[in-house]
Chains A and B, each alone.
Chain A
Amino acid sequence: MSKEWPLWEIFIRGQHGLNHRHVGSLHAPDAEMAVLNARDVYTRRNEGVSIWVVRSADITASSPSEKGPLFEPANSKVYRHPTFFDIPDEVGHM
């Protein structure tokens, strides 16, 4: 069995109530150490108030070859954007 430390993906939530955001990855022997290492590497300048760590191996990603079938259907559905509809000025802000 490999003695290499597994890879973890690190997510940090900043000060202002936004979502946790992926900031990078690191190696650690277990989840506890991954959190500590993430503290040292990714929050040295007050970048965060909360850390999530996930083993990279546990992430399922969409494959680049599926890009078309997955994301192209949205291109033709412009009516999902509010700017699709012309509302007369007299109606006021909407």
Chain B
Amino acid sequence: MYAQMVKSEGMKSRDEMSAEEQAFQDRIDRGEKIEPKEWMPEGYRKTLIRQIGQHAHSEIVGQLPEGNWITRAPTLERKAILLAKVQDEAGHGLYLYSACETLGVTRDELMELLHAGKMKYSSIFNYPTLTWADMGAVGWLVDGAAIMNQVPLQRTSYGPYSRAMIRICKEESFHQRQGYAIMMKMASGTPAQKKMAQDALNRLWYPSLMMFGPSDKDSVHSAQSMSWKIKMNSNDELRQKFVDQTVPQAEYLGLTVPDPALKWNEDKGGYDFSEPDWSEFYDVLAGNGPCNKDRLGARVKAWEDGAWFRDGLVAHARKAAARRTPAAAE
């Protein structure tokens, strides 16, 4: 997902927990929200920083593949819509960085970890956006997959994270719909346009399935995160839901999901489908996807090129404050 393979600290049985840890777990089990200054196990805090930080990084790195098409949108209206969508993603990044900061890191520290390659962002954004149809497929599939994961996270145990998710979910459905609207236009257009739409689906289908992360049936990390309610569903569960929701949408478009094994399974009430190539997934996470270097390079460049401007604004603010209260500036 936007946060993939987040390591959490080892799972403890009830007997291994301290009295404080037991009381903490009881609060979570009762559905209480944990707020920033309250006591929390160090593992809970660290895992959340990794997860929310990775989620925030995904929002802002996710602006890059779509930003690629803003200047080349086919109409002024499409351009305005895409611009608004990409601007929303900047906001999502901000909400999440703010939530993460309540755990005792600063946004600049998180940025530095991202730029140093010490924190990850979702694998999906390391794929290129080659045609305008990709703007449709990204909104439809990538934001669609994100919604699948973010809706249950609105109920997560950490108050600031939950509030950020609620705010984000309000904005996501616009993202998915504008993407699907592009797909509808392309799929009902000329044969060449329909071909572009099919090609976008072909390229983005499996990377979208990878967003949910590998199967976590037996993962200790997942078990701990689930008992802390910072992970609400298993990866496989969400992936299945995503496929079940998306296949009829592809059928409506008259497009073919690029999976010959895709088949409705009456018994389970869902589709059987092929797993993505997980070796490709690990390879992309390790930094070897088609766009890893571009994406991180663009982030670092924006950060470094903007440094003089950020510093200039701070200098200006200090001077202005000194002018207002000369004594306070000493």
- What residues make up the interface of A, taking CB atoms closer than 8 Å to B? 3-5, 7, 24-27, 29-30, 33, 40-41, 44, 61, 63-64
* New contact pairs (5) apart from A24-B94, A29-B316, CB-CB < 8 Å: A4-B107, A24-B95, A29-B317, A30-B316, A64-B37
A-B pair count, CB < 8 Å, reads 47
- Cα A63 to Cα B36 in complex, Å, equals 10
Measured in the bound complex, the distance between the Cα atoms of B101 and A30 in whole Å is 19
B interface secondary structure, majority: helix
Determine if A25 and B310 form an interchain contact, defined as CB atoms under 8 angstroms apart.
no
Contacts of B164 in A (CB 8 A): 24
Distance from B330 Cβ to chain A, minimum over Cβ atoms (Å): 13
Instruction: Kindly state the separation between the CA atoms of A54 and B329 in the bound complex, as whole angstroms.
Output: 19
Q: Which residue of B lies closest to A41 (CB)?
A: B91
Chain B, 57-109, CB within 8 A of any chain A CB? 84, 87-88, 91, 94-95, 98, 101, 106-108
3 pairs of A and B residues whose beta carbons are closest in the complex: A30-B317, A29-B313, A29-B317
**Is the Cβ of A61 less than 8 Å from the Cβ of B313?**
no
Please tell me which one of the listed residues A4, A30, A61 contacts residue B37 in the complex, with CB atoms under 8 A apart.
A61
Q: Which residues of B contact A3 (CB under 8 A)?
A: 310-311, 314
Chain B residues at the A interface, C-beta cutoff of 8 Å: 35, 37-39, 84, 87-88, 91, 94-95, 98, 101, 106-108, 163-164, 167, 310-311, 313-314, 316-317, 320-321
B residues less than 8 Å from A27 (CB atoms): 107
CB of B97 to closest CB in A, whole Å? 9
Q: Given A26-B94, A64-B37, verify A7-B101 contact (CB < 8 Å).
A: yes
Asked, given contacts A5-B314, A25-B98, whether A63 binds B37 with beta carbons under 8 Å apart, the answer is yes
Instruction: Name the contact of B91 in the complex, choosing from A29, A33, A44 (C-beta under 8 A).
Output: A44
B88 touches A30 (CB 8 A): no
- Max chain B CB contacts within 10 Å: which of A5, A26, A29, A63? A29
- A35: shortest Cβ distance to chain B, in Å? 13
Contact call B35/A24, Cβ cutoff below 8 A: no
Q: For B313, what are the chain A residues with a Cβ–Cβ distance below 8 Å?
A: 5, 29-30, 33
Chain A residues near B98 (CB, 8 Å)?
7, 24-26
CB distance from A83 to the nearest CB of B (A): 25
Report the bound CA distance from A11 to B321 in whole Å: 22
Q: How far is the CB of A67 from chain B (nearest CB, A)?
A: 9
Minimum CB distance partner of A9 in chain B = B98
In angstroms, Cα B98 to Cα A10, docked, is 12
A41-B94 in contact given A4-B106, A64-B38 (Cβ < 8 Å): yes
B37 to chain A, nearest CB (A): 5
**What is the bound-complex CA distance between A63 and B164, given in angstroms?**
23
What residues of chain B lie closer than 8 Å to A41, measured between beta carbons? 91, 94
**Cβ of A64 and Cβ of B88 under 8 Å apart?**
no
CB-CB under 8 A from B95, the residues of chain A are: 24
CA distance A44 to B94 in the complex (A): 14
Docked CA distance A94–B39 (Å): 45
In the bound assembly, the distance between CA atoms of A4 and B105 in angstroms comes to 12
